[in-house]
Copies of this chain bind each other. A is one copy, B any other.
């Protein structure tokens, strides 16, 4: 926005075309019907001056910025990267720009960050898995229009992946294979996606009293998985459900290094289906979360909210696809 070598404004075009400002505005916006000859004069003048309206001034007077914000807790997380990607592409196609805000995991700042970005945009896509419910509720009001990702609420449109069902599916798969002693490597205890897994676990446990399930607090990356491999062995479990693929790869690496065979001695399942999970040895059983599609859906929801503010909030839960691969097999006798 440095108007360094004095930018060309609508007035310059008007002068060059010998018309009024309003006429220029009209032809450039395709409004009203203006004399063809004049219109042509304006168009060539604009072209020669390489003129285009200032988005800023336009935004101020029109009350919309053609921009939406997306706030995420961590741009380093592949899930949010994919969501951002899908969102950015979809919004871009519709002529909208995207402002990103990374709260750097500081939950306290999340709300003010969201507010700040909201004021420079027409709406915000909120990824705030760890924000507490009260803060979320009041945020939703001040952020509107807002669409919430991966988190249930009745006060705003929601798009998300049904982690719970997918996780449950993996549980049943292991059960069918004969596993009765399972261990779950949990991620961040305060995240909603961890809660979804825990919920699936609880429901499964209630329905299958014969299965013993242990939870080991772990983390979300390869190193965390590697770190708890010892605990996993000590637990005597025949199958391990990792919080995600990275964790699964971490345990798998150490387990194999220690001489265990997968899945003969122990089965391992991940979550997320990162590209590399089909290239580990053995290949990894996991669930494919459609994060990019989620981003695209988030845009659709936002577009709806933008055009019809009074429309009732919708919820759009996508079911992850479970990929059964080599890392899970029959429980050892």
B63 touches A85 (CB 8 A): no
Q: How far is the CA of A51 from the CA of B100 in the complex (A)?
A: 24
The yes or no answer to A186 lying at the interface (CB within 8 A) is: no
Chain A interface, number of residues (Cβ within 8 angstroms): 53
- Which among B99, B117, B145, B253 is the interface contact of A281 at CB below 8 angstroms? B253
Report copies per complex: 2
Q: How far is the CA of A55 from the CA of B90 in the complex (A)?
A: 26
Q: Given A89-B104, A275-B222, A276-B276, check contact A63 B2 (CB 8 Å).
A: yes
The interface residues of chain B lying within 8 Å CB-to-CB of A275 are 221-222, 246
Query: Nearest chain-B residue to A53 (Cβ)?
Result: B119
Query: What are 24 A-B pairs with beta-carbon distances under 8 A?
Result: A1-B59, A1-B63, A1-B65, A1-B119, A1-B120, A2-B64, A4-B144, A4-B309, A52-B119, A55-B120, A56-B59, A75-B85, A76-B81, A85-B102, A97-B101, A98-B100, A98-B101, A99-B100, A100-B100, A222-B275, A222-B276, A249-B279, A250-B279, A253-B281
Residues of A bordering B, CB below 8 Å? 1-4, 52, 54-57, 59-60, 63-65, 67, 75-76, 81-82, 84-85, 88-89, 92, 97-102, 104, 116-117, 119-122, 144-145, 221-222, 226, 246, 249-250, 253, 256, 275-276, 278-279, 281, 309
